[in-house]
Chains A and B, each alone.
Chain A
C-alpha cells in the first residue's frame, strides 16, 4: 500500500545543563531505537576570556590567573606557564625546585585520577566505588594542603622556582599516605577488572583503535589506552622528569575498561616516583632571580597534565605584560574520540563514554571570530565583555 516511509531520524538533545556531568555542554545524539547513529557536541558555555585577560596583567599576576584555568589540574597550568616564562627569560630553575614541582604534579595526578575514578564509576551507576574512592582521595588532598597550604589552588610555583619546601615531617606523612593509597588502589584495580556488573558497562564499550586514536589526535590516558606510546614526561622531560623518570603505561584494548586500567596503573607509577623523589630530594636553593620585564620573543611550553598534553604558547614584546598567551588543554583534543566512538552504542552508554575522556569543559572553551570581509580588527577586553553580555541576554 503506497510508498514505503523512510524511518524518521530521532534526535535526543542533552544539555547544556544535564544530570550526567556537572559542567555545561550540549550534545545531540541521533538514535534509531536505543542505538546512537550520530553524535555532535556544542561547547562554549563557560568561556571566561582568560587568554584575553592575561594581556592586561603582569607576568607575575598571570601565574595565578593561569592556575585558575582548571580547578583539578591547577598546578600543571601554573607549571607550564612558569616554565614558559623561565624559558623566555633564559633562567635555569634550581634542581630542588624542579623536584618539588614534579612532586606536586604527581600528587595532583593522584587526586585527579581518583576523582575521575569516582566520577566514571558514578556515571556507570556504581556509587559505592564513587564514594569510597573519594573518601580515599581525601588522603592526598590533605597531603597537598599540608605541603602547599591549600587543597585546590596550591600556588606552589613562583616565577623562577617554588614557594614551598618539604621537611622530614612532611616526607613521613607522604610515605604513610602513599602506602595507604597504594593498598586501596590495588583493591580498586581488582574491582574494575573483575566485577561482572561493572564490566558490563565498560568492556568493549567506546572502543577506539590505535589507528583512530592517532587520526583523531587523542592525547593522555585516553590515547594510551588505545596503544599510543606518547607521554610528554618521557618524550620531552621537564621539571625533574629526566632525573626521576616515569614509565609510559599503555594498553591495547582501547575500550573504557582499558582507560580505567591505564589510569590506575599510572597511579602506581605516581606512587613509585613520589617515593623516589622524597627519598632522593636534591639539595639546593628554591628560587632564582627572574626579571620583571621579559625579553622579546616567543616560546612553547608543554607538560603532561592528568588528562594529557597541555600546551602553552607565550609571546612577549619586551614589556612587563605578555602580548599573547595561547593555551591548548587536553580535553579539547579528545572530543573527537567521544563523538566517533559513541556511534553504535546504546544511549545509556553515552554518559560513560563522555566521562571516559575525563572531560574538563571550562578548560576547552575558546572564542573564534570568523572574519568574512578580510578587515583586520583587534578586540579589546571591553568589546569582549560587551559581546558576552549581549550573547547571554
Chain B
C-alpha cells in the first residue's frame, strides 16, 4: 500500500514520471492541478493565496485562513483518494503535503535549469531569455510558497526519502527505481500511519466542514483529531456561536465525539509521560486558567520503537477503530487507555474536566517530528517542555531538551520554557514573595533618595553644575534610568501576577 508523493521543480518532469509510474503499477494518480480544481469547487479562495505570493512582498496575515483550508483540502484529498492505500501524487511541494505520517514515500526530482528552459521554450512558446526569466522567478515564488505554506525550504534534504537526479538517468529508469523503492516494506503505511492519516483526514474534514457552514465559517478555530475524537478550541468572544460547532460536527463521517473548549490561546505541553496528579500538572493548569488558555498535550517518545509496538498490540486485541459497530450509545473504553500511553489519556480526561483541554496525542521522534505534527494547527502562545529524554543521563537530557526548545522556538515562533522555569517565571510562590519585597524596598529607596535631594540632582541635570560637566548628566541618565525602570517594572509585574493579570 504505497503512497508516493513526488515533488519537482516546475517543468522538471514530475508529471511525466508520475504518469509513467502510474501506468506501470495501476496505482491512483493525482496531481496538484486536481487539488486546484477542487479548491475552486469547495469555495476555497486559493487563487488569492497564490497571487499574493507574487504580488505582495509579504503574505497578508489574514490569508492564514486560506492557507489552513488549503492544507486541509490537500490532506482530505490524499486520504480520500488513497482509500485502497495506493496513491501517486505529484505537484508543487508534493513531498511536504503529508507531514508526520510514517510510511509515505517522499520523492524529490532534480533536473538542470537548461533542461527545464528547453521544455518551457517549447511548452509556453517563449524565447530562451524569457523562459529563463520565467523559471528563475517562478522558482523564487515557489520557494516563498513552500516557506509560507509548509514552513520549510525545498533544500532540506531530510524532508525527502529519495531524491532522483534526472540529469544522467532516463525517465524510464527513474520510474523503475521509484517502483522498487515504493514496494519496500519501509514504505508500507503502518497501522500507526493509517490511523494518523485518518485523524488528519478527520481534522481536515472538520475544518472544511466548519468553514463552509455559514454559522461557523467566520470563526477562528483550532482543530485537532485524535483517535476519532475532534477537539475544537474557540475564542471567548465566539462563545455565542460555540453551540453551532458541536451541531455542525454532529454526524461528520468518522467523528466519534467532539469536544469544544473555549480558550484565548493555546499552550502546547510536551513531555515524555504525564501524570494528572503530579506537581507539573497543577502548575500548568494554573497558568492555563490564568491565561484563559487551552492545553494541548504531546507525548514525545524519543526512543521511537515503543509507540509502534503499542499500536501493533492494539490491533490484535481490539481491532482498528474503523471496524467499530453500532453500539447503541454504549461505547467500549477508549482503545488507547491504560496501555503504555503513560498517563496521556488520563491527563487529557482531567483537562477536559476542568475545561482546559485542546486534545492530546503521542508521537515518536525529535524536533522535526514535533514540528510536523503541530504546524497545521500552530497558534501557541507558549510551549512547555516537561521531562524529556528520560532514558538519557541528566546532562544529556538537559542539553537535548534545550536544543529541542531552540528549534521549536525558531520554527513555531512561540516562546518555549521548561516546566522548571515555569514555576519561577509565570507563577507566584514563596521565592517571588521575597523578590517582591526586595524590589519594593529598592524602589522606595530610589524614589526617596531622588525626591529628598532634588536640588543637587537638578543642578547636575540642568543647572550650573551641568554647564560645567555636560556629559555627567548623560552618563547619569544612561545608568540610572534602566535601573529605575527595571526595579519598578519587576515590582508591578509581580503585583499584577498576584491579581491574575498578565
Q: Do A and B come from one complex?
A: no
B: which residues have CB within 8 A of A? none
Residue numbers of A with Cβ under 8 A of B are: none
